[in-house]
Amino acid sequence: MCGITGWVSWTQNLSEQSSVLENMTKAITHRGPDRMGTWLSEHAALGHRRLIVIDPEGGKQPMVYDDGSYTVTLSYNGEIYNFIELKEELIQRGHLFKSSSDTEVLLHAYLEWGEACVERLNGIFAFAIWDERKEQLMLGRDHLGVKPLYFANRGNDIIFGSELKAMFAHPEVDPVIDKDGLSEIFGLGPIRTPGQGVFKDVEEVRAGHYVTFSKDERTVKRYWTLKSHPHPDDLDTTVSTIRSYLEDTVKKQLVADRPVVSMLSGGLDSSGLTAIAGNEFSKEGKTLHTYSIDFKNNEQDFEKDFLRVDLDEPWVEKVSDHVGTDHKSLVLDADELVENLLVPMRARDLPGVGEIETSLYLLFKEMEKEATVALSGESADEVFSGYPWFHQEEFLDAEVFPWLLNMRGMSAILSDSLKEKLDLFSYQKERYQEALNEVPVLTGESDLQAKQRRMSYMFISRFLPFMLDRKDRASMMTGFEVRVPFCDYRLVEYLWNVPIEMKNVDGIEKGVLRRAFEGYLPEDVRYRKKSAYPSTKDEKYLEGVQKWMLEILDDPTSPILPYIDTKKIRSITEGKSEAIHGSSAKGLLDYLIQVNAWLKEYNIRVIL
């Protein structure tokens, strides 16, 4: 995994702009701590930070193809899982290779098929290609949006990067927020609109899209989308197909020249992937290393609720023993979580989900000590329709994204002056309607089936990108790569048309996946009820963020103060609010602390 950045101008000579390019590239050193590369020409400047996973010597970037009459240059972040098959096809078509890297395969795929090369890729990727023949820049992003990519149009220039901070290192890109940006921050929270860069005149390449830029034209192309049609397979065929896809993608995603480990929560998703990976390791006489997260005093503090039905650790031990992994559990205390609260915000360049994201970052930091790559069970709930929301009328009939129903009180804590300028409810409905208009409908479905298909689309196209971005930023902040087998686009395409009744066979969420893992996992593990990602119950954490928020409220220079109702926030912070308290208060304070630091550290200019 890596970080990419660059700058294209059709009116300036960029060959003398090495210092600007180096600053942009250094801004994302954490994404690629092993090596830095830059390449400059008259109209293009590409930077790269490398985390070495495959072919240490042969995969250096930016990678240049030069036939003597023209050059094509690539800066790429990701992994192409089918690169071996693509390489064989390209060799048959006359291409010669100097390395064993997937980077060179991607470059030659572009040389052979042009922009259509993205349609042949199976992997996680974000890349930039400067084609000297056409004087054209191409920015491409993977099917589900696992790898991030932003860009900004400034006059005749295009500035781009894996992360916003790389672009802010360019003198033409300033951190400015307008009305829409604030509506994203306060109206949608951390689950933001795809393509919306939040900052003014900054955009994101959407998942399944590529963008080309020439001197006079910009073209946005959607190369992959979900297509609705009746599911052709019976239950047994569906189960075997899912199992086949997972076995194939896990095997492909274990390929690396650095150590690969697996995340293990004891839940169905990570346990199943761990079992498949462990089986592959045992074939080679190796032992898979696994990692989980827990919190100090969690056993005594734990309380069963709607999201978390039981403790993870007993199940983690059971799966580890069954698969035969070498397991390590990272135990965190409240002080560590408070101390590192702002790290994920700095990784994202945007406020995130607080404590849950912080613990994820600390887990990756620990894993990076012994490995470079990990498998994760992320996204199974989105693509298998595993959330309770798929079966609750309140959420199926909502006019906004279901996860926002618990955030509707956000506007109540804003200052009166900001409320006058932002209509958050209308903004939420507008963004929801945009997503609704994209849903590929299937004629003949019942009203309930149609609503569940819409819900599925919301989670795949809106919620999943947030989850993937969270995983990418928390891991890459430590120079660590996380792979997500459930995001194999072939599996996602297939599952899109599997009826929810079949997905939930045996009367349990993701029943079809549980059947697919038969033989890999013990029965009680296969049928363990879903339990959400763990969260600390330690009162010390809430006390820590309360103290922090009071310091912000007591400091008249705190940049967040003009945007919030300070009296209401003080009441919540002091535990005097009947409406927002306990875990709800913790989540809100987490977020506001990050917003304040974000406004301050990034020196953001707000235009309303």
Q: Is 377 part of any known ligand binding site? A: yes
Residues 283 and 152 in one domain: no
Longest dimension (CA), the chain: 73
| Spatial distance between the Cα atoms of 332 and 228, rounded to a whole number of angstroms | 44
Residues 217 and 280 in one domain: no
CATH of the domain at 61: 3.60.20.10
CB-neighbour burial class of residue 416 (10 A; exposed 0-12, middle 13-18, buried 19+): exposed
Q: Residue 462 pLDDT > 80, yes or no? A: yes
406-428 pLDDT, tens digit each: 665 678 899 999 999 999 999 99
Work out the pLDDT band at 76, boundaries 50, 70, 90: very high
Task: Say whether 271 counts as a known binding-site residue.
Answer: no
Size of the chain in residues: 608
Q: Please give the Cα distance from 373 to 441 (Å, whole number).
A: 38
Distance of alpha carbon 130 from alpha carbon 134, whole angstroms: 9
Strand partners, 2: 50
Q: What is the mean pLDDT of residues 94-118?
A: 97
Distance CA(486)–CA(513), nearest Å, equals: 11
Is pLDDT at 447 greater than 80 in this prediction? yes
Is 435 a domain residue?
A: no
Report the pLDDT value the prediction gives residue 469, as an integer from 0 to 100: 96
* Residue at 470 is within a domain: yes
Residues 25 and 52 in one domain: yes
Residue 578, SS3? coil
Residues 562 and 512 in one domain: no
- Report the pLDDT averaged over residues 576-596: 89
* 245 and 195, same domain (yes or no): no
Asked whether the beta carbons of 34 and 51 are under 8 A apart, the reply is yes
**Do the domain assignments include residue 409?**
no
CA distance 336 to 343: 11
Is the residue at 433 inside a domain?
Answer: no
Bridge partner residues of 418 (DSSP): none
515, 552: one domain? no
Cα separation of 477 and 357, whole Å? 12
By the 8 A CB rule, do 362 and 330 touch? yes
DSSP state of 411: G
381 annotated as ligand-binding:
no
Segment 89-114 mean pLDDT: 97
**Does residue 479 sit within a domain?**
yes
53 falls within a domain = yes
Give residue 408's pLDDT: 59
Last residue of a domain, one of 466, 501, 526: 526
Question: What is the arrangement of strands in the sheet containing 209-213, beginning at the earlier edge strand?
Answer: 63-66, 71-80, 123-131, 136-141, 209-213, 218-222
Catalytic residues: 2
Q: Indicate whether 333 and 259 sit together in one domain.
A: yes
User: Which CATH number covers residue 381?
Assistant: 3.40.50.620
Torsion of CA 278, 282, 284, 287, to 10 degrees: 70
* Owner of token pair 């996860």: 403
Q: What is the pTM of this model?
A: 0.95
Task: Select from 526, 560, 576 the last residue of a domain.
Answer: 526
Count: domains in the chain: 3
388 cis-preceded (ω within 30 degrees of 0):
no
If you search the block for the tokens 């915000």, which residue do you land on? Answer: 345
304 and 199 together in one domain = no
Burial environment of residue 345 by CB neighbours within 10 A (0 to 12, 13 to 18, 19 or more):
buried
Residue 297 has a pLDDT of 82
Flag whether 59 is marked binding. no
pLDDT single digits (tens) 54-75: 767 777 899 999 988 999 999 9
Residue 394 has pLDDT above 90, yes or no: no
563 and 497, same structural domain? no
pLDDT at residue 407 in the model: 64
Place of tokens 């490995």: 371
Residues 134 and 282 in one domain: no
Q: Are 207 and 447 in contact (CB under 8 A)?
A: no
To the nearest 10°, report the CA torsion of 128, 132, 135, 137. Answer: 0
Any domain includes 426: no
Supply the DSSP symbol for 194.
T
299, pLDDT greater than 90: no
Higher pLDDT, 535 or 446: 446
Q: Read off φ and ψ for residue 51, nearest 5 degrees.
A: -105, 110
378-414 core/surface letters (b: 16 or more CB in 10 A; e: else): bbbbbbbbbbebbeeeebbebebbbbbeebeebbebb
User: Distance between CA atoms of 223 and 144, rounded to whole angstroms?
Assistant: 12
399 occurs within a structural domain: no
Boundary residue ending a domain (496, 526, 556) = 526
Domain shared by 158 and 133, yes or no: yes
Domain of residue 555: give its range. Answer: 539-606
Please state, in angstroms and rounded to a whole number, the distance separating the CA atoms of residues 373 and 358. Answer: 19
If asked whether residues 260 and 201 sit together in one domain, one would say no
Lowest-confidence segment of 21-25, 151-155, 341-345, 352-356 by average pLDDT = 352-356
